[in-house]
Each structure stands twice: as structure tokens, then as C-alpha cells.
Amino acid sequence: MATKTITFDPDAGASPETNFSILGGANFEGNFEVVGTNNSAFNLSGYSGSAAISKSVSIGATLGITTAFTVGFTSATDGKLKISLSSGVTRSLNEGRYVYDVLVVSAASTTYSLVRGNILVIPPVAAAP
């Protein structure tokens, strides 16, 4: 999976969006390089992260959390993190459009929406051996 570079501005009040596709039954990784408004690496040391995916439903319906991603800081000082789901988890996702978001919490306990977007879950055509 290619790395997606996102600009994080804690004062903006809105997070950037980026989209993914997931093949059901395959491992999924979404890699992010987080930069600040000055276009240099945003130091995520001292931050913790969480991420979730929910089935996208019609207006007025309730969104429930389908599952949580595993969030890992691959190099916090360089602003690098990844979200992932195992093949067993992606196998259990129904085909269709989902929404996701990645939240980070600063050392001062402030929660920020780091990135969000859409995920298209595509069913596998053949079973894994």
C-alpha cells in the first residue's frame, strides 16, 4: 500500500480526507506521513491514536462502529503511522461503502481528527488457499 501524505493543522478544526479500497479476506494497511502546515514532518511523539470503520448508511440511519483498526506509530518523530486490519477481519466485512476516521490524542489530552474518508470494501473473487 502506498503511503499517503496528509497535512495536519490542529487549529483548522477539519481533517483532510483520503480514500482507500479493501479487498475482503486480505490484510489491509493504510500508511500515513503526517506533515505540518510548514510541510515538514509533524512530530507525533506523545500522541496516542485510534481509528474505526463504520458501514456507510442512508441519511437518518444510525452508524455503528463495525470494527476498530490497529493503529501504530511507525516513526512518531517523523510523523509516520499506519492503520491496519487482519485478513480475518476484512473477510468479515460486508461488501460496500464504509467511512473511517483516525483520531489522535495529544499529551495534553486534546483529541484531534487526523484524517478521515471513504473505504470501498470489495469481496474476494476466489478463496485463499
pTM of the predicted structure, to 2 decimals: 0.87
pLDDT above 60 (res 87):
yes
Alpha-carbon gap, residue 8 to 102, rounded angstroms: 12
6-28 pLDDT, tens per residue?
Answer: 999 988 888 999 999 999 999 99
Under a CB-based contact definition with an 8 Å cutoff, are residues 96 and 83 in contact?
Answer: no
pLDDT at 59: 60
Residue 48 binned pLDDT confidence (cut-offs 50, 70, 90): very high
The full DSSP string for 24-77 is TTS-EEEEEEEE-TTSSB---TT-EEEEEEEE---TTSPP-EEEEPEEEEEEGG
- Is 94's pLDDT higher than 90? no
Q: Which helix (H) or strand (E) holds 82?
A: strand 80-85
What are the structural domains, with CATH classification, of the chain? 3-10+17-122 (2.60.40.3350)
